[in-house]
Amino acid sequence: MSSKVLVLPGDGIGPEIVDEALKVLEALDTGADARFEIERAPIGGEAIDACGVPLPEPTLERSRVCDAILLGAVGGPRWDGLAREIRPERGLLALRAELGVFANLRPAIAYPQLADASTLKADVVRGLDVLIVRELTGGIYFGRPRGIRAREDGCREGFNTLVYAEDEIERVCRAAFDAARRRSGRVCSVDKANVLEASELWREVATQVAEEYDDVELSHMYVDNAAMQLVRAPKQFDVIVTSNMFGDILSDLASMLTGSIGMLPSASLDASGKGLYEPIHGAAPDIVGRGVANPLATILSAAMMLRYSLDAADLADRIERAVASVLDRGLRTPDIESPGTTVVGTREMGDAVAAAL
């Protein structure tokens, strides 16, 4: 039986990098029966241009009935002037919320071949393998009330609400503890419990969940310290679990430990394991159409999709091995180039991974 994959290329470099991931999936499709049934739908700016909204109803409908979703990126300067409610990013946020994909897994793995591509010393990052589990459908991204209003004196104020319920904290912590069980068994919960009530509750619930996991060790860290520790000694971490906004920030930070944000894939899972897969980077308007975007984060996201939603861990392993072998051969997109390597474009990188399968 083939798996239904909904592809949402989106904006900016989205279509370029998604094409390379599809090339890799196609290269796996060698048997008599196609393994993947690929459908495309618009989201973000592309959808705004086509139908006036960033998440059209047919896109949402199709995302509900498919087995997994592979997304490129959304957003771009063209749509920045639009009202907040219909900006491209709102399409992505609505999709995450509608699908209930609350557990966002963002692995930051420093490939040994890229140790020199990081801005940090090679010794600090070599061997790094940390998993950030970011809460994705709650917190300040979604809390109400929110808006921009005028004070009585006419001065405007912007406001958002940081709110987390116990059940929201509990389920994402469980996802982190379950993941830690399959790794080195350590979870660091990152919060700002010295200042925020939402974090105080977060810490309490994380501690309760930990009681059910004898084999996993829980520690807590304030987010400012966590940012410092990620740069100072990132290898102390195994699994980090944190809120939506802290996870957004820390995962960009962690990506630079690996050499480039163009290397970080992600899986966003619901309670049943259905998932939305996307690179953690954005639409990169500055390099659109130049053929230099790094497709590896998206290719690795496709590997995560095979592992977590399509029950094909063997194929995921093959993709990950192919990526490693291409890096071994010294092929690099410009974002991960270092002396002595060969710079290639988006397409050549995708071709090389497909060929290495």
Q: Which of 29, 49, 167, 224 is catalytic?
A: 224
| Binding track over 237-256 against ligand IPM, x by CB under 6 A | -----------x--------
Catalytic residue (one of 11, 23, 111, 141): 141
| Window 229-268: contact mask with Mg ion (x via CB under 5 A) | -------------------x--------------------
* Identified catalytic residue from 164, 192, 238, 277: 192
By rule CB under 5 A, what string of x and - marks binding of each residue 50-89 to Mg ion? ----------------------------------------
Q: For ligand IPM, which residue has the nearest CB?
A: 89
Taking CA 276 as the corner, what is the angle to CA 272 and CA 281, rounded to the nearest 5 degrees? 145
Give the residue with the Cβ less far from ligand IPM, 89 or 238.
Answer: 89
Output 265 or 282, the one with its CB closest to ligand IPM: 282
Which of Mg ion, ligand IPM, none does residue 92 bind (CB under 5 to 8 Å by kind)? ligand IPM
Is 192 an annotated catalytic residue?
A: yes
320 interface partner picked from ligand IPM, Mg ion, none, CB below 5 to 8 A per type:
none
Smallest gap from residue 118 Cβ to ligand IPM (A): 20
Residue from 54, 56, 282, 350 binding ligand IPM (CB under 6 A): 282
- Binding mask 19-58 toward ligand IPM (x if CB under 6 A, else -) reads ----------------------------------------
For the question of residue 224 being annotated catalytic, the response is: yes
Question: Footprint of ligand IPM on this chain (CB under 6 A)?
Answer: 75, 89, 92-93, 248, 280, 282
The residues carrying an active-site annotation are: 141, 192, 224, 248, 252
